[in-house]
Amino acid sequence: MSDAGGLRGLRESVGLWFAPARVRREGTTPDYRFSLANERTFLAWIRTALALIGGGFAVDQFLTDHLAHWVRVVLALALLAGGFACTLRAVNHWVRCERAIRTGADLPVSRFPALLAMLVAVLAVAMVAVVVFGWAG
């Protein structure tokens, strides 16, 4: 796929985020249980994003006396970036799944859950190191 085609596809996909009625015009109306399950998955991703964002703010605001500034900033920004990525992933995955459900296509696959798990694992190891070694400012 050319870069122009990729950008056009991305623009179309992002456009569907804000125009769900266009998704409804594709394919046929599925059993509502499938659409509602897709929505519950979307909400689970949003809850994950909120938890990561809340964790980022908690690290930044409440560990001021316990961590060196640079450690606090790195951990907070990693959590906030993870939360931001989850919000974008949530809506994009919802649209892609809804289209697949309506058109009878295979559900989309993604590497994002593995990447998110790796981010959380790395942050967990970093936080264990902070607890063990202290890294006070």
Given a contact cutoff of 8 angstroms between Cβ atoms, the answer to whether 53 and 83 are in contact is: yes
Q: What are the residues whose beta carbons fall under 8 Å from the beta carbon of 49, sequence distance 6 or more?
A: 82, 83, 84, 86, 87, 90
**Dihedral angle, C-alpha 70, 76, 80, 82, nearest 10 °:** 90
Digits of tens for pLDDT over the chain (137 positions)?
Answer: 456 666 777 787 788 888 878 888 888 888 889 989 999 999 999 999 999 999 999 988 888 777 788 888 998 999 999 999 999 999 999 999 999 999 999 998 989 999 989 988 998 998 888 778 776 65
Radius of gyration of the chain, Cα coordinates, nearest whole angstrom: 19
| Helical axes 69-103 vs 3-17, angle rounded to 10° | 90
Q: Domain count for the chain, please give it.
A: 1
b/e map 10-41, b = 16+ CB within 10 Å: eeeeeebeeeeeebeeeeeeeeeeebeebeee
Q: What are the residues whose beta carbons fall under 8 Å from the beta carbon of 66, sequence distance 6 or more?
A: 134, 136
Domain containing residue 55: 3-133
This prediction's pTM: 0.79
